[in-house]
Structure 1
Amino acid sequence: MKLIPNWKEVLTGSWSVLFIIAGLISLAGFFFALVTAEQLGWNPVWFATAAASFQALALPARLLLQAGLRRFREDTSGAVSRRGVGVIAGSAIALSSAVGFVGQWEGLRTEAYRDIVGVWTVCYGETKGVQPGDSYTKAECDRMLAEEVASYEAQLDRCLTATVPVGMKIALVSWTYNVGPGAACRSTLVRKANAGDLVGACHELPRWNRAGGRVIRGLTNRRASERTMCLKSLEAAA
């Protein structure tokens, strides 16, 4: 196999390659922020060194990732829609924030269990295809949650046509992850947002605090936190 004469220029100039590398570095930094040396079975010194290195690289990687994303969205040669990549899924920082926000409310359980309404659940509230006896590691659950957050954002974007701040989007994706995209897209909340009443949409969140017909304190607290994030992001954007 013969390499082309300018292979280095082609490789280093390819935004898609840099985009992937930056994404991997950002995810690595996020991973080291979630685990401990004991969980990995690593020597604490080696763990601290690796964590510090990836955290130091995370910021420039995220900046590169965002720059690459802008070029990806501007590149129309492949007929890529601007709405093809969501606000959260398109930013390593926003994705990390969304995963952390959703994860704290869902809670982590690595063994399959029945939730409050009897549905088999595992990890951070994952229900799709879960069977009794299923078991996952924390790393697998974290990866699953990141994929699900991006997936739920994409499903919400099919009906949410309004442009909203990142914080509001994280709150709405958290809500959608909890209630399901079908219910979310049929809601008064989305109708208000699409009509331009973003504040009114935020205030709809507390209404979604029931499970099995009963008011659940945990859901009430979650909706209150989502509304707070929703409203604060609108204040900051204004």
Structure 2
Amino acid sequence: MKLIENWKLTLIGAWSVRLIALACLISAVPVFVSLVSPGLLGIDPIVFAALAVFVNALAIPARLIAQAGLSDMLREFRADDSGAVSRRSVGVLGTGGVALAAAVIFIGQWEGLRTSAYQDVVGVWTVCYGETKGVKPGDSHTKAECDQMLAQEIGRYEAALDRCLTADVPVGMKIALVSWTYNVGAGAACRSALVRKANAGDLVGACHELPRWNRAGGRVWRGLTNRRLSERNMCLEAIARAA
């Protein structure tokens, strides 16, 4: 039994999780109140009784909310076949949703975020997660705007990768490969042994190709090594979950 790939995003952002947690909290209060003597709390018995009735009444809608949220969550879980290898994940990130959000978080952490325009090492004006198109001195963006720019770029890189990647791959592997493609370029990705192995059905072998792409300018970079290992881990974990 393993955590889902985007468990942090789901735990923090899903309303069903928030409602279930709130319902559990509210449902626990009347149990505590009913087990404690009014005398020990220094509360008038009538006030105590009114409080107990009120909290128990709140537990009724809380119970209904919890059931509805859990039902919706289970229904989505049963309907979600995004981890299946039997269905090719063409354009799955470009369509938005949780998969794209997970890709933005994963790729964004490696690209690094700077909300004000700056000149990179070769003097090109850059902003957000390495965006250079149309960037001018003095440009500034919010994190949300930068995330949107990255999401659009991810969609374009995924589309470019899909033109040569014909294999059926689970979504987690797709995110790892798009992250790699975003970093090395679609041309290099499509000419690689990695894509050839994936198209031949050797998905595990394709994942193990990722650490080989840790050089820039003819030398090994620690940051690239760490990124490739992280991509490989995501790639292999996705295949294991889909098996």
TM-score normalized by the length of structure 1: 0.62
Q: Which runs of 4+ in 1 moved over 4 A?
A: 82-85, 116-119
Deviates more, 1:209-218 or 1:124-133: 124-133
Counterpart residue identity of residue 164, structure 2: C
Q: Distance in 2 between matches of 1:223 and 1:236?
A: 20
Q: Which has the larger radius of gyration?
A: 2
TM-score normalized by the length of structure 2: 0.61
Is 1:170 the counterpart of 2:183? The answer is no
Structure 1 residues 197, 115: CA separation in 2 closer, same or farther (over 3 Å shift)?
Answer: farther
Is 1:127 the counterpart of 2:132? The answer is yes
Q: RMSD of aligned C-alpha atoms? A: 3.3
Shift of 1:213: 2.2
The C-alpha deviation readout for 1:119-147, integer Å capped at 9, x for no partner, is: 44321122334344433222211111111
Q: Distance in 2 between matches of 1:99 and 1:158?
A: 21
Gaps of at least 5 residues in structure 1 are 1-28, 31-55, 68-81
Is 1:207 the counterpart of 2:243? The answer is no
Q: Which residue of 2 aligns with 1:223?
A: 228
Structure 1 residues 124, 227: CA separation in 2 closer, same or farther (over 3 Å shift)?
Answer: same
Equivalent residues in 2 for 1:1-238, closer than 5 Å: 86-115=91-120, 119-238=124-243
Assess if the C-alpha contact under 8 Å between 1:117 and 1:211 holds in 2. Answer: no
Shift of 1:110: 1.2
Secondary structure, counterpart of 2:209 in structure 1:
helix
Higher relative contact order (CA 8 A, sep 6+): 2
Gaps of at least 5 residues in structure 2 are 1-12, 15-67, 80-86
Deviates more, 1:208-217 or 1:94-103: 208-217
Shift of 1:222: 0.6
Assess if the C-alpha contact under 8 Å between 1:171 and 1:227 holds in 2. Answer: yes
